Amino acid sequence: MSKAKPMDPVKKANLLISGEMILIAIAFLVLGFLRLFEVIKSSEIRGHIFNIITAVGGAWVLTDFIWSTVSKKRREKVTYLDKCLNLVMSLAVLAFDIYCFIHWADFKNEEFMQGFFRIGISVVFFAIFTNYTFQGIYHYFKPTKQLLAAVAYDEEQKRLALEEAKNKEEKTEK
């Protein structure tokens, strides 16, 4: 019987990260359909909370993109394609949020909440689904810079630990 060869750490971590992204994507797809078909309904307060949270998140993603663009040190550490894809999603979410903030009083109107708002949230969720699906598939074939750096760091730590153990062993023999 042949023993199964252990999986390469990069491939193993890459598979885990890609799988996680695909699972997140599927969760947002399900949420999008549940919201679109009115299985999940929003109240006025939930609508406001959703808009505030997504506006803060969208602003952070926009800030992170600008930071990654301006800082060479940051750009070397991140996958710039991910930042660009997240920027597109962030701008769409911010545009949706700004429209909702302008129509803050309309949240009392059931037609607004179950019409525009319902479809708008579904579109946001479908955009997140598309983004994470692409990233999950893409990063399966091309690992992120952070993953490669983490694996290199881990291998360096293992090498140093082996070297230290070897040095202790040599000292005890003397």
Kindly report, residue by residue over 90-122, the tens digit of the pLDDT.
Answer: 999 999 999 889 988 887 887 777 788 889 899
Q: How many domains does the chain have?
A: 2
Structural domain containing residue 64: 11-143
User: What does the pLDDT read at residue 30?
Assistant: 97
Element (H, E) at 85: helix 80-102
- Exposure string of 40-55, with b = 16+ CB inside 10 Å and e = fewer, is eebebeebeebbeebb
* 120 and 41 in a common domain: yes
Q: Locate tokens 């023993």: which residue?
A: 3
C-alpha distances in angstroms, 110 versus 23, 42, 107, 113, 116?
32, 10, 7, 5, 10
The answer on pLDDT for 1 being more than 70 is no
Residue 106 covered by a domain: yes
* 111 and 66 in a common domain: yes
Which residues have C-beta within 8 Å of that of residue 61, sequence separation ≥ 6? 86, 87, 89, 90
The answer on pLDDT for 2 being more than 70 is no
pTM equals 0.80
* 98 and 25 in a common domain: yes
Token pair recorded at residue 92? 């769409």
Token pair recorded at residue 60? 């952070």
pLDDT tens-place string over residues 31-69: 999 999 989 887 888 888 999 999 999 999 999 999 999
* 42 and 75 in a common domain: yes
Please say whether the beta carbons of 69 and 75 come within 8 A. Answer: yes
* 166 and 135 in a common domain: no
The answer on pLDDT for 174 being more than 70 is no
Average pLDDT (82-88) is 92
